[in-house]
Homo-oligomer: A and B are copies of this chain.
């Protein structure tokens, strides 16, 4: 690239919003990504970094020195700063913290003190608080004096003199109340605060259900610590969904489109390796029946159909159950009904497809015996599939293993083994008799 076009690229890049620059970097192959990064203005670096996924971010920060990092970080919100710092080596965290002003450092340290997957780790500590014993007019005067409010401030938080959380007043309430109204009178006492150790997915569910823009965060004795805003919750919702989607294919949700080759090979190899074990287990099952296959090679042609259909049916149930778990819709009280419904579905689908494969085998391939065997094995596997589709993820969850990650490999292990063992086992038991009947 010649210098003229480089200059144009630079001007174009820096005219974009930080999130759009981040998108562009994530969609660029490695080499171009590095060139583009060099062109981004110093003052945009922090905002762009915070919008990048973890993988791309650490790629870029690895090559920055601590001074540049501190410079990039300095204008960020406390929650973004804490989130960013959590991904850096300890020595860099210490250096960055000690380069900050005392007040700011203390704020970031509060957030760093909580797990990043909790409300405490999500919260921003910059909040506008007022007392309950003043009037609207006093608050309006205070806000005017204060100047700019933190971004996404839709309500101010009412606390007592010990910073204990009492309630909130929305900005629209402040704007539509009479100047001499008392805060105590207009505040919302019912607006519930979130405990700092609440799981972030619970926080997201609360925001979604109640259509919140912001919510106060308190500690175990009710002291106000900060607030969570919808923009961070949107990220949580997006991440949760990406996590589900990518886990189900054995990918990491931070895997980026142009991740360096070696880490990608490693991540994907885990899943491929696990699947190889499953495939060899299926092969071990088949190898028990070599004599049966030798006596009817049509079995080798058609036997793969049964595990294949079981895998599809099972993954449908599994997907429903994994989403049900993620969205908190599955508990003890409805597991039985769910299992009954999925088994009934499996039975109906099993009968339908057993008849179809029997018909195809009998009419098109003129092999009634094999048709019967494949049909019966199909029915069995389409019952085993929903059974494991419901029970496997629930068991994994009890063992604190992510069902989205491990569920589908385990499921195909079951449907492969039941599928092959079904066809070939039935064949070795029944084929001689069936041959006699239909001879």
Hey, which bits of chain A sit against chain B, CB under 8 A? 17, 19-20, 23, 26-29, 51, 140, 143-144, 146-149, 151-154, 171-172, 174-178, 207-211, 213, 230-231, 233-234, 237-238, 241-242, 244-246, 248-251, 255, 257-258, 261, 264-265, 268-269, 271-273, 275-276, 278-280, 282-283, 286-287, 290, 293-294, 297-298, 300-302, 304-305, 307-309, 312-313, 315-316, 318-320, 323-324, 327-331, 334, 337-338, 341, 344-345, 348-349, 352-353, 356-357, 360
Task: Given A234-B237, A237-B238, decide whether A249 and B319 contact each other with a Cβ distance below 8 A.
Answer: yes
| Contact between B290 and A301, CB atoms less than 8 A apart | yes
| Contact between A356 and B276, CB atoms less than 8 A apart | yes
| Contact between A341 and B29, CB atoms less than 8 A apart | yes
| Contact between B245 and A330, CB atoms less than 8 A apart | no
Task: Given A144-B177, A301-B290, decide whether A19 and B153 contact each other with a Cβ distance below 8 A.
Answer: no
* Closest CB in chain B relative to A57 CB, distance in Å: 16
Q: What are 21 A-B interface contacts by the 8 Å CB criterion? A: A27-B331, A29-B334, A29-B337, A149-B175, A153-B172, A154-B213, A237-B241, A241-B241, A251-B316, A255-B320, A261-B348, A265-B352, A268-B316, A272-B312, A275-B312, A279-B304, A280-B305, A283-B304, A286-B300, A286-B301, A293-B297
Task: Given A230-B230, A272-B309, decide whether A211 and B29 contact each other with a Cβ distance below 8 A.
Answer: no
| Contact between A258 and B211, CB atoms less than 8 A apart | no
Give the CA-CA distance A324 to B256 in the complex, in Å.
9
- Residues of chain B contacted by A249 (CB below 8 angstroms): 315-316, 318-319
Identify 11 new A-B residue pairs, CB closer than 8 A, beyond the known A245-B245, A251-B320: A20-B209, A213-B230, A248-B319, A258-B338, A261-B341, A261-B348, A271-B312, A275-B312, A276-B309, A276-B356, A297-B300
| Contact between B338 and A257, CB atoms less than 8 A apart | yes
Give the CA-CA distance A434 to B41 in the complex, in Å.
63
- Residues of chain B contacted by A279 (CB below 8 angstroms): 304-305, 308-309
* Closest CB in chain B relative to A289 CB, distance in Å: 9
- Residues of chain B contacted by A237 (CB below 8 angstroms): 234, 237-238, 241
Give the CA-CA distance A153 to B244 in the complex, in Å.
33
* Closest CB in chain B relative to A88 CB, distance in Å: 23
Residue of chain B at shortest CB distance from A348: B265
Residue of chain B at shortest CB distance from A247: B319
- Residues of chain B contacted by A148 (CB below 8 angstroms): 172, 176
Task: Given A175-B140, A276-B305, decide whether A330 and B211 contact each other with a Cβ distance below 8 A.
Answer: no
* Closest CB in chain B relative to A187 CB, distance in Å: 16
Residue of chain B at shortest CB distance from A338: B257
Task: Given A143-B175, A268-B316, decide whether A301 and B287 contact each other with a Cβ distance below 8 A.
Answer: yes
Give the CA-CA distance A345 to B272 in the complex, in Å.
12
| Contact between A19 and B209, CB atoms less than 8 A apart | yes
- Residues of chain B contacted by A315 (CB below 8 angstroms): 249
| Contact between A330 and B208, CB atoms less than 8 A apart | no
Give the CA-CA distance A357 to B143 in the complex, in Å.
70
* Closest CB in chain B relative to A312 CB, distance in Å: 5
Task: Given A320-B255, A341-B258, decide whether A149 and B172 contact each other with a Cβ distance below 8 A.
Answer: yes
Residue of chain B at shortest CB distance from A315: B249
| Contact between B275 and A309, CB atoms less than 8 A apart | yes
Give the CA-CA distance A286 to B148 in the complex, in Å.
72
Task: Given A345-B264, A360-B280, decide whether A147 and B171 contact each other with a Cβ distance below 8 A.
Answer: no
Give the CA-CA distance A287 to B323 in the complex, in Å.
39
